[in-house]
Structure 1
Amino acid sequence: MQIKLLGPFIAREHQGSIVPSAAKPRQILALLALRAGGIVTAATLMEELWGDQCPRSAPTTVQTYILKLRRLLEQALDLGQDVPYTSAVRRPAGADRPHAKEVLLTRNGGYQLDVEPGAIDVQEFERLQELGQAAFAAGDFAAASTLLGKALTLWRGPALVDVRTGLVLEIEVLRLEEARMTALESRIAADMGLGRYGRVLSELAALSAQHPLHEGLHAQFMAAQYASGRVWQALQTYRRLRATLGAELGIEPSARVRRLYESMLAADTSLDVGTPAGPVLWSPA
């Protein structure tokens, strides 16, 4: 089984899709996949589908949706009857193909989707991100750039872009998008640590335009411009950020960004490329 949540929702087993077209079963499968290997309670599923307005029939309706998901899964498993069993479902070596109930299990008070590690892109993203952040913290910028770059390539668009989100999924999507942005900032910081200023300048120009209120990206853009000898552009980037924050939110840039700007104004030698406090090491706080 392969499940992709970082973009349009894809879930396939033996080339057969198990993603339902109906909105609510689609939400259930997405939530089960995001928490694969753990139990998702029926109460959580009902909260996702109906919020605090659950109808009396909600428990029975959830059971009906689970049955529909198992039917889709069984049909997909049947497609692989004539090929060697290679599914990512957890199963002892040499065992027969599982039945749908062994993949989408009923647990005490809820349900569990049981697949092998690596079958779901979210889990792979989180694994690579953790390794990349550890490499960055250890000062291994080359490994950090590679690992975080691989993590980011798993994204094919906004998470669950074609799934209606309720109270639970909405929080999960926000969490994933924040993790994506953190990985991106760290990957850029790693590239700057390797002296790849020219490589990140155009990327940061686009990102700062896409996220006009994001201080971290603007600070990285300033740092890359300064390190590339474009001091006046770095100062201009700060002033644009300050004007936008003031107009949109009525606030000033953070103290950390202001200190970077003031150091640039003063031509502080500690910002010179290669120094321990230099712009090459600007990263998420």
Structure 2
Amino acid sequence: MEIGVLGPLVVRIDGTSVVPSAAKPRQMLALLAVNAGWDVNVTTLTEELWDSSPPSGPAGVVQTYVKQLRRAIAAALGPDHEREPKEVLSRSYAGYSLNMPTPVVEADVFQQLTGRGLRALAGGDDEVASKLLGEALGMWRGPVLADVRIGPALRAELLRLDEARRSALEGRITADLRLGRHAEVIGELLALTARFPLQENLHALLMLALYRCGRSWQALEIFRQLRASTVQELGIEPSQRVQQLHRAILAADPQLDTRVPSLAAF
């Protein structure tokens, strides 16, 4: 079984998709997929599908969706498969569960690569860190579950994966800056800081990249924009670490050529 959530939902058995076209069954399958191998109780399924406005007899509607999903699973398994649809989408006292031997879960592979990449970064192996984190980020096909309606349970997974993606991005860009690729990351950082105007680490990395490209005035302008955003939106000044970076750029501190602000303060 292949399970992919880093973009539109993918659930395949022996290469055949079992993702339904109807919105509610697809949403239910998505929740089962992100919890593959674990039981999801009917209460959680009900809250995900209907939030605070469930229909009368929601458990019966859930059972109807389960039957639809099992029909798709049966078609993908074929008549001679050793497993039955009720084994793949099973029911226990605790809830429903999606089960197949050794499933390939896209999000798990992403997190494994990210973990290895961040460990390499912490250990100073920047080439390996950049490569592994780049591979991890390359797995993303779009926003998490781009074609699925998101309810409370899936929203938590979406936030978790988006945070992991930002961590991988910061790590890969940090590795690239250490490797002297400052000119190559400026365009990407400009887009990221526009998307996340309050993310200090991204702004600090952009300030450093611009400074190392001889564009000090632009680095100082990025700080000004960040300060305006944090004061207006949060009512606070940028952190001391970013303010120290700002002062270091003003003073053309030689340490700027060797240190990366996401890892150490000036």
Fold shared per TM-score above 0.5: yes
CA contact (8 A) 2:11 2:33 kept: no
After superposition, what is the alpha-carbon deviation per residue over 1:168-223, rounded to whole angstroms, capped at 9, x for unaligned?
11111111111111111111111112221122122212222232332221111001
Aligned partner (choices 133, 149, 152) of residue 134 of structure 2:
149
SS at match of 1:164: coil
User: Which residue in 2 is equivalent to 1:103?
Assistant: 88
Q: Which runs of 5+ in 2 are unaligned?
A: none
Give the alignment of 1:1-285 within 5 angstroms. 1-78=1-78, 97-117=82-102, 119-271=104-256, 273-274=257-258, 278-279=259-260, 282-283=262-263
- What is the alpha-carbon distance in structure 1 between the residues aligned to residue 264 and residue 234 of structure 2? 21
SS at match of 1:3: strand
- What is the alpha-carbon distance in structure 1 between the residues aligned to residue 211 and residue 102 of structure 2? 43
Shift of 1:116: 4.7
Residue 17 of structure 1 aligns to which amino acid in structure 2? S
Shift of 1:254: 2.1
- What is the alpha-carbon distance in structure 2 between the residues aligned to residue 72 and residue 191 of structure 1? 45
CA contact (8 A) 1:185 1:284 kept: no
CA contact (8 A) 1:16 1:76 kept: yes
- What is the alpha-carbon distance in structure 1 between the residues aligned to residue 172 and residue 105 of structure 2? 22
- What is the alpha-carbon distance in structure 2 between the residues aligned to residue 202 and residue 31 of structure 1? 35
Residue 140 of structure 1 aligns to which amino acid in structure 2? D
- What is the alpha-carbon distance in structure 2 between the residues aligned to residue 13 and residue 191 of structure 1? 38
- What is the alpha-carbon distance in structure 2 between the residues aligned to residue 237 and residue 125 of structure 1? 31
- What is the alpha-carbon distance in structure 2 between the residues aligned to residue 114 and residue 181 of structure 1? 30
CA contact (8 A) 1:117 1:123 kept: no
Query: Closer, same or farther in 2 for the Cα pair 1:190/1:127, shift >3 Å?
Result: same
SS at match of 1:105: strand
- What is the alpha-carbon distance in structure 2 between the residues aligned to residue 283 and residue 220 of structure 1? 10
SS at match of 1:106: strand
SS at match of 1:40: coil
Query: Closer, same or farther in 2 for the Cα pair 1:118/1:99, shift >3 Å?
Result: closer
- What is the alpha-carbon distance in structure 2 between the residues aligned to residue 97 and residue 149 of structure 1? 38
- What is the alpha-carbon distance in structure 2 between the residues aligned to residue 123 and residue 104 of structure 1? 20
Residue 224 of structure 2 aligns to which amino acid in structure 1? R
- What is the alpha-carbon distance in structure 1 between the residues aligned to residue 105 and residue 113 of structure 2? 13
SS at match of 2:210: helix
- What is the alpha-carbon distance in structure 1 between the residues aligned to residue 47 and residue 28 of structure 2? 11
- What is the alpha-carbon distance in structure 1 between the residues aligned to residue 121 and residue 31 of structure 2? 31
Shift of 1:284: 10
CA contact (8 A) 1:185 1:283 kept: no
Shift of 1:117: 4.7
Report how many aligned residue pairs link the two structures.
265
CA contact (8 A) 2:3 2:103 kept: no
SS at match of 1:174: helix
Shift of 1:56: 4.3
SS at match of 1:111: strand
Normalised by the size of structure 2, how large is the TM-score?
A: 0.91
CA contact (8 A) 1:223 1:282 kept: no
Residue 38 of structure 2 aligns to which amino acid in structure 1? G
CA contact (8 A) 1:18 1:72 kept: yes
Mean CA deviation greater in 11-20 or 69-78: 11-20
- Percent same amino acid at aligned positions? 49
